[in-house]
Amino acid sequence: MILRSLTRHVRDQNWFAVFLDFLIVVVGVFIGIQVANWNEARNNRSIAMGHLSEIAEDIQTHLDFHPELYDAATARIAAVDYIYDRALGRSLPDRLVLSTVEWDVPPTEALSEEELDRIMGSVNLIRITVGSRNGYESLINSGNLGLIESRDLARAIQHY
């Protein structure tokens, strides 16, 4: 339809109408491309939000497991403190040093008689977190890290 109209205007040498037809086509193409870009941006935001939601679930799982890790660590420290006291006649130092990392010993309670019967289990109790990184792995494997608009957030996710 536009082509027929354009051909007729060129034959009639109606240059204003030719210009108007051309302008309509250009504006229509521009609007079409812009709508496609907006739609792609909306889809990308939706994908990024899905990945961020999955990562938030992974982090919440880790946070929910943290108290169990802390309790296991303090049980080990209390057991080792008891053995240290009985074997060497002194208490553990106030600071724990592991390679180049150092931190204060958390407060522990003395072991009860019942806990003394399980002291080897307490000393050997090691809680391992099986990192749930499904959200992060999904983000990286899909190649969508670039969809995270905040570079600081993307770096923080990578660091985590």
Which tens digit of pLDDT belongs to each residue from 22-61?
A: 888 899 999 999 999 999 999 999 999 999 999 999 888 8
pLDDT at position 96 is 80
Judged on CB neighbours under 10 Å (0-12, 13-18, 19+), 66 is exposed
Q: Sketch the domain layout of the chain as residue ranges.
A: 2-159
For residue 58, give the nearest of 132, 129, 130 by alpha carbon: 132
pTM of the model: 0.58
Each residue of 121-145: pLDDT tens digit?
777 766 666 667 888 888 888 988 8
Each residue of 83-131: pLDDT tens digit?
888 888 887 788 888 788 888 888 888 888 888 877 877 777 666 666 6
Mean pLDDT, to the nearest integer, of 70-89?
A: 83
Judged on CB neighbours under 10 Å (0-12, 13-18, 19+), 78 is buried
Give all strands (DSSP E) within 34-111, no chain letters: 95-98, 101-104
Q: What region does 99 belong to: left with phi over 0, alpha with psi -120 to 50, or beta?
A: left
